[in-house]
């Protein structure tokens, strides 16, 4: 599904260029649940942004579902983001004055799904995160955990193949964080690909594969078996 | 993105910032209201002026002494204070023999103090023949008009305007058969014009004094020429043919062979109307141009606020792009917002403008006797709506492009 070869990303800040990614090579198959871990400044967020089509690499190649990002226009990237990808951000990025319903509707506004079918999709997505009673509440009035669940519903509503989550538990208390991770896990169990960026190992271990990134390079790439999970917890 | 959804999204964000939206609109509201007010006042003034000219009758031809002016907008020489004596009694006689002409009425005019008892007023007087009453559609309210025999025998009789009658005699005294003095010459008032007579040539008919032309020429002015000859064309002839006949007769009479050396000028109502129409249209356009300056200022206000909104909503733009909005979707959303602002401002401005125009009309008709017309030109409304829509696009496109060009990840990270 995701095939990355020698991916590079260079930022120009002032006079000095900064290399956020210095040649990352990895591939992610359909149905995987992958955590990308690393200290801050390691390039893990940059990697996620490029994988999720929010940014373009400055070097190397990236094929998503067999198609190279270099061959796609910004408009095509927008369509893929809309159709095949879902996003969950650390800071939720909800429009606080809109209701839960209206927030979850936003991706549908930019899709080719007919208005008549939207209500059902929105209600299903909100039900999947257990917030059906808050459907008409303004997003700004919800607690942090509820907000992140709305964000997951928004990511789900277009029925994407892959969900990208950037530190989804970073702004949450551990109780809410756990709830959010359980939802992501259940999405994976229903067959969706999930790519998660985090620096908390407890969060990372919900995945079945952990990629550690350091100084813009992949440091390690390990599948987590029940055995090794047990080992880490010990 | 469906336009319906884009429209809903835009209205929603405008409603969320109600106070700001209203204040932003205010610039456009004021601009459009002033355009509407000035255009409609201009139109009213134009209607008023043209209405007065039309009051002189469509088959009326006016002959004034002096060569026609070359410039379209400058008055003939006779109106510039130069005394020209080229119109004489023999011209009147010659014109009267023309079959395409129904009536010929020469006139002379001046200003003098009119006195009755202790009351007096300085007014225009005109020396006219009896035909003048019918040619100018003058109707008598009290008494009767003087006759051609009064003119021929130079009787000291006068017909006065209704406003002047009140000035001199008060509202209760019947002026008929009273004697007034004009330049120390006594005239017996035989009639008073009826109210509401239309004034032509800038003379207020309410205050005019009409006396036999013979008396005016010999006793008041001491001249034998005329200042104007009014000709009523025969309805069966084309007005252009009649003017060409008049020119021919006068050229023969004055021994002129080169038409460029004419010592008279001929104007028809159509000439005067088109001249006045040009002048007042330019005036109206000029007023509208001044008013549109405030529209530009209002538009810049919109641009300013939209730029602020784009910056404030950077994260929203980033989020929308992340979940699939294309550059065009974002562009469309912000353009719709600014066009909605200006368009709503335009509609409110038109309503306020109409209100003010209505008040001006009510005020003028309640407190003055000016026959002000309530003109609310539909062209001004259409123009205003078009201008406000275009202003929305013109002043909204730059902020909208700024929004559309944002890189999604930079926008999402914006703090």
Q: Are residues B43 and B186 in the same domain?
A: no
Q: How many helices (H) and strands (E) does chain A have?
A: 8, 10
CB contacts of B328 in chain A (<8 Å) are 75
- Give the pLDDT score at A87: 92
Q: Are residues B256 and B356 in the same domain?
A: no
| Gap between the Cα atoms of B160 and B173, Å rounded | 14
Q: What is the mean pLDDT for each group of 10 consecutive residues in chain A (234 residues)?
A: 92 83 93 92 91 92 93 92 93 91 94 91 93 92 93 93 92 90 92 92 90 92 66 42
Confidence tier at B412 by pLDDT (50, 70, 90): confident
* Of residues B11 and B78, more confidently modeled: B11
**Closest-CA residue of chain B to A156:** B323
**Closest-CA residue of chain A to B6:** A109
B2-6 contacts at long range (C-beta below 8 A, 24 or more positions apart) = B2/A109, B2/A115, B3/B332, B4/A115, B5/A109, B5/A115, B6/A109, B6/B329, B6/B332, B6/B333, B6/B336
In chain B, the number of structural domains is 2
**Which of B317, B319, B332, B404 to mutate to test binding with chain A, by most A CBs within 10 Å of its CB?**
B319
Could you report the per-residue pLDDT of A45-104, keeping only the tens digit for each? Answer: 899 999 999 999 999 999 999 999 999 999 999 999 999 999 999 999 999 889 999 999
Q: Are residues B172 and B136 in the same domain?
A: yes
- Give the pLDDT score at B407: 87
Could you report the per-residue pLDDT of B321-354, keeping only the tens digit for each? Answer: 999 999 999 999 999 999 999 999 999 999 999 9
- Is residue B304 in some structural domain? yes
- Bridge partners of A100? none
Q: Among the three residues B232, B262, B292, which one is the final residue of a domain in this structure? A: B262
Q: Is the pLDDT of residue B28 over 60?
A: yes
Q: Are residues B150 and B229 in the same domain?
A: yes
Q: Are residues B346 and B247 in the same domain?
A: no
Return the SS3 of A2.
strand
Using CA of residue B388, residue B390, residue B394, residue B396, what is the dihedral sign? Answer: positive
CB contacts of A83 in chain B (<8 Å) are 324
Residue recorded with tokens 């007065």: B52
Q: Are residues B116 and B251 in the same domain?
A: yes
Q: Is the pLDDT of residue B186 over 80?
A: yes
Token duo for residue B240:
């252009």
Gyration radius from chain A CA atoms: 18
**What's the mean pLDDT in B58-86?**
67
Q: Which residues of B touch A (CB under 8 A)?
A: 1-2, 4-6, 9, 12, 16, 315-316, 318-329, 407-409, 412
- Is residue B396 in some structural domain? yes
Domains, in order of start, for chain A: 28-52+83-233 (3.40.50.300)
A&B contacts, CB < 8 Å = 64
Q: Which ipTM score applies to this complex?
A: 0.91
- Is residue B400 in some structural domain? yes
- Give the pLDDT score at B61: 86
- Give the pLDDT score at B414: 81
* Of residues A207 and B3, more confidently modeled: A207
Q: Are residues B28 and B92 in the same domain?
A: no
Q: Is B322–A154 a contact, with Cβ atoms under 8 angstroms apart?
A: no
Q: Among the three residues B262, B297, B314, which one is the final residue of a domain in this structure? A: B262
Q: Is A83–B324 a contact, with Cβ atoms under 8 angstroms apart?
A: yes
- Give the pLDDT score at A166: 92
Q: Are residues B143 and B108 in the same domain?
A: yes
Q: Are residues B19 and B134 in the same domain?
A: no
Q: Are residues B323 and B405 in the same domain?
A: yes
Kindly state the DSSP code that residue B255 receives in the 8-state scheme.
T
- Is residue B76 in some structural domain? no
**Helix/strand/coil percent split, chain A, to 5:** 40, 30, 30
What number of residues does chain B have?
Answer: 415
Supply the pTM of this predicted model.
0.70
| Gap between the Cα atoms of A127 and A100, Å rounded | 12
Q: How many helices (H) and strands (E) does chain B have?
A: 13, 10
**What's the mean pLDDT in B54-64?**
76
Q: Which of B213, B248, B403 is nearest to B316 (CA)?
A: B403
Confidence tier at B369 by pLDDT (50, 70, 90): low
Q: Structural domain of residue B8, as residue ranges?
A: 3-53+283-413
**Closest-CA residue of chain A to B5:** A109
| Residue of B9, B315, B323 lying closest to A81 (CB–CB) | B323
- Is residue B277 in some structural domain? no
- Give the pLDDT score at B69: 62
What are the distances in angstroms from CA A45 to CA A37, A38, A49, A58, B149?
9, 9, 6, 15, 111
Confidence tier at B388 by pLDDT (50, 70, 90): confident
- Is residue B362 in some structural domain? yes
**Closest-CA residue of chain A to B413:** A91
Q: Which of B11, B33, B31 is nearest to B341 (CA)?
A: B11
Q: Among the three residues B229, B262, B295, which one is the final residue of a domain in this structure? A: B262
**What's the mean pLDDT in B304-322?**
90
- Is residue B77 in some structural domain? no
Terminal Cα-to-Cα distance of chain B (whole angstroms): 27
Q: Is the pLDDT of residue B77 over 70?
A: no
| Gap between the Cα atoms of B34 and B352, Å rounded | 9
- Give the pLDDT score at B201: 47
- Is residue B164 in some structural domain? yes
Could you report the per-residue pLDDT of B99-124, keeping only the tens digit for each? Answer: 888 889 999 988 888 888 888 888 88
H-state helical runs in B177-313: 213-215, 239-254, 269-312
The nearest CA of chain B is from the CA of A37 a distance in Å of 20
Q: Which of B290, B98, B353, B9 is nearest to A102 (CA)?
A: B9
CB contacts of B412 in chain A (<8 Å) are 54, 89, 93
**What's the mean pLDDT in B33-57?**
80
* B175 within 8 A of B160, measured Cβ to Cβ: yes
* Of residues A211 and B13, more confidently modeled: A211
| Residue of A55, A82, A98 lying closest to B409 (CB–CB) | A55
Q: Are residues B240 and B379 in the same domain?
A: no
**Closest-CA residue of chain A to B313:** A95
| Gap between the Cα atoms of B274 and A123, Å rounded | 70
CB contacts of A106 in chain B (<8 Å) are 319-320, 323
Q: Are residues B129 and B236 in the same domain?
A: yes
């Amino acid at each position: 599904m995701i095939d990355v070869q020698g991916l590079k990303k260079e930022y120009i800040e002032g006079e000095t260029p900064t290399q956020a990614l210095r040649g990352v090579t990895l591939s992610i198959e359909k149905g995987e649940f992958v955590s990308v871990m690393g200290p801050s400044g390691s390039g893990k967020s940059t990697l996620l942004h490029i994988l999720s089509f929010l940014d373009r690499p400055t070097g190397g190649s990236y094929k998503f579902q067999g198609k190279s990002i270099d061959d796609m226009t910004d408009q095509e990237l927008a369509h893929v983001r809309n159709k095949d990808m879902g996003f969950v951000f650390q800071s939720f990025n909800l429009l606080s004055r809109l209701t839960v319903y209206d927030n979850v509707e936003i991706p549908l506004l930019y899709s080719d799904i007919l208005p008549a079918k939207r209500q059902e999709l929105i209600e299903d997505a909100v039900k999947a995160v257990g917030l059906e009673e808050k459907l008409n509440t303004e997003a700004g009035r919800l607690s942090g955990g509820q907000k992140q669940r709305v964000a997951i519903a928004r990511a789900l509503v277009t029925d994407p193949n892959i969900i990208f989550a950037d530190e989804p538990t970073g702004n949450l208390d551990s109780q809410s964080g756990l709830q959010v991770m359980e939802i992501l896990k259940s999405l994976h169990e229903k067959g969706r690909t999930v790519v998660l960026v985090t620096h908390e190992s407890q969060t990372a271990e919900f995945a079945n594969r952990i990629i550690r990134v350091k100084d813009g390079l992949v440091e390690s790439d390990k599948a987590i078996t029940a055995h090794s999970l047990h080992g880490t917890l010990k | 993105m469906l336009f319906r959804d884009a429209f809903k999204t835009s209205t929603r964000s405008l409603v969320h910032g109600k106070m700001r939206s209203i204040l932003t609109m205010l610039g456009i509201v004021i601009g459009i209201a002033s355009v509407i007010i000035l255009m409609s006042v201009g139109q009213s003034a134009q209607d008023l002026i043209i209405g007065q000219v039309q009051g002189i009758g469509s088959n009326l031809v006016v002959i004034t002494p002096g060569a026609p002016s070359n410039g379209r907008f400058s008055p003939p020489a006779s109106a510039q204070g130069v005394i020209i004596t080229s119109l004489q009694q023999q011209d009147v006689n010659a014109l009267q023999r023309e079959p395409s002409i129904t009536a010929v009425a020469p006139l002379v005019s001046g200003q003098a103090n009119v006195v009755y008892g202790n009351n007096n007023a300085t007014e225009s007087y005109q020396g006219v023949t009896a035909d003048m009453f019918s040619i100018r559609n003058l109707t008598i309210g009290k008494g009767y008009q003087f006759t051609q025999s009064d003119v021929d025998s130079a009787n000291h009789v006068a017909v006065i305007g209704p406003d002047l009658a009140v000035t001199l005699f008060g509202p209760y005294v019947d002026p008929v058969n009273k004697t007034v003095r004009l330049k120390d010459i006594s005239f017996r008032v035989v009639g008073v014009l009826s109210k509401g007579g239309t004034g032509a040539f800038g003379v207020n008919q309410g205050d005019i004094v009409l006396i036999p032309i013979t008396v005016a020429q010999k006793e008041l002015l001491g001249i034998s020429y005329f200042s104007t000859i009014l000709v009523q064309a025969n309805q069966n002839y084309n007005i252009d043919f009649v003017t060409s006949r008049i020119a021919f007769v006068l050229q023969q009479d004055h021994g002129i062979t080169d038409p460029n050396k004419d010592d008279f000028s001929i104007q028809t109502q159509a000439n005067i109307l088109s001249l006045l129409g040009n002048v007042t249209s330019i005036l109206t356009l000029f007023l509208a141009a001044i008013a549109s300056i405030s529209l530009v200022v209002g538009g810049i206000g919109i641009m300013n606020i939209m730029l602020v909104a784009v910056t404030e909503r950077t994260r929203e733009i980033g989020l929308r792009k992340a979940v699939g909005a294309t550059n065009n979707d974002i562009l469309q959303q912000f353009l719709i917002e600014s066009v909605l602002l200006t368009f709503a401002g335009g509609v409110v401005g038109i309503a306020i403008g109409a209100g003010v125009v209505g008040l001006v009309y009510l005020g003028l008709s309640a407190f003055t006797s000016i026959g002000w017309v309530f003109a609310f030109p539909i062209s001004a409304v259409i123009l205003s709506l078009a201008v406000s829509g275009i202003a929305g696009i013109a002043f909204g496109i730059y902020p909208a492009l700024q929004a559309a060009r944002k890189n999604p990840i930079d926008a999402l990270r914006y703090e």
